Amino acid sequence: MATDYYAVLGVRRDASQEEIKKAFRRLARELHPDVNPDPKTQERFKEINAAYEVLSDPQKKQVYDLGGDPLSQAGGGAGGFGAGGFGNFSDIMDAFFGTASQRGPRSRTRRGQDAMIRLEVELDEAAFGTTKDIQVDTAVVCTTCNGEGAAPGTSAQTCDMCRGRGEVSQVTRSFLGQVMTSRPCPQCQGFGTVVPNPCPECAGDGRVRSRRTLTVKIPAGVDNGTRIQLAGEGEVGPGGGPAGDLYVEIHELPHPTFQRRGDDLHCTVTIPMTAAALGTKVPLETLDGMEEVDIRPGTQSGQSIPLHGRGVTHLRGGGRGDLIVHVEVTTPTKLDPEQERLLRELAQLRGEERPMGQFQPGQQGLFSRLKDAFNGR
């Protein structure tokens, strides 16, 4: 062929579509008639426009690479600013402003927003799972107009200002010359249609607020902040569009006895020094029912007694955490004369009348460290 379109744009024959587009942008900015009114420049601009029209279209490019004339087959030519000569208007806008305008009206039907609700659960419900009914107040499809937005017996009409295109064009003068810009139609807000008789129930939005009840399955092992996704149970979109998702965020209520740490439960039992010295059994109401905690003789304050498998169910995977019982030994502060006499005899028998004591660098016990960890220190 007489014209080498690859040479016109200054690209290789194996150039990618992105490289071809970049070359066209660069040349269009330099040679557009509004920027450079020289007649020779205008002819050059027609050439690069024709070259881009061919090389940016895979079918035309294939015809050209095989030696054919894609422009003559398409019924256009390389010399003019019509549909064939000027190329895609959005590409010209893209060359000057970096982005191509989106043509055509926008849809009235759009996806709805996601919604979130906070759900409070007890510790045992979080540990073993449960089902709960929740009240949800969201947007649903208007049953009067079925999401159309128009009053019964009527329908949306084509906008007479933009003739259904959703946008209007305006020609202004700038240092480049005359520039045509497009903006959403102010009468139909870019939809291309107007609703002269809106639905009286939803005021033309296609949706109304409604309260409904949903049953949520709470899996075993959920924790504070866990979110459960209910697909399609969120807000219905404008124009009766598809609903978003509903997220149920778990908030675990405090327990009077246990404090949760991951999947383990912690509690503290306070016993007198005599029970710690002699040993005892302390009843404890666990999540599984009543159990006895075995306090062995000689138990020290700060020791912990694990009850394996009595904690929270693992959310992912089988098994459960542990229940850790922390022991706190109390010392009596008031003794009657008989109690004091007996303790002194015990101290004498044990050789502890004047104990020397054992001093160590300041070090927290296990219980103190655990309490500080709970308090975030």
- Cβ 61 vs Cβ 55: under 8 Å: yes
- Cβ 128 vs Cβ 221: under 8 Å: no
Look up residue 187 and give its two tokens. 């009468």
Spell out the domains of the chain, with CATH numbers in brackets: 5-97 (1.10.287.110), 115-150+198-252 (2.60.260.20), 157-194 (no CATH), 259-374 (2.60.260.20)
The 10s digit of each residue's pLDDT in 16-38 is 888 888 888 888 777 766 666 67
- Comparing CA positions, the residue from 280, 145, 242, 137 lying closest to residue 203 is 145
**Enclosing H/E stretch for 21:** helix 17-31
Coil vs helix vs strand at 267? strand
The 10s digit of each residue's pLDDT in 264-305 is 999 999 999 999 999 999 999 999 999 999 999 999 999 999
Q: Is the pTM of this model over 0.85?
A: no
pLDDT (0 to 100) of residue 59: 79
Q: Is 145 annotated as a binding residue?
A: yes
Cα–Cα distance measured from residue 291 to residue 283, given in angstroms and rounded to the nearest whole number: 6
The 10s digit of each residue's pLDDT in 140-173 is 999 999 888 999 999 889 999 888 888 887 766 6
Q: Is 267 annotated as a binding residue?
A: no
pLDDT (0 to 100) of residue 107: 84
Classify the C-alpha dihedral 119-122-123-129 as positive or negative.
negative
* pLDDT(95) > 60: no
Look up residue 274 and give its two tokens. 């005599």
207-218 and 167-174 as β-strands: parallel, antiparallel, unpaired?
unpaired
Cα–Cα distance measured from residue 149 to residue 277, given in angstroms and rounded to the nearest whole number: 79
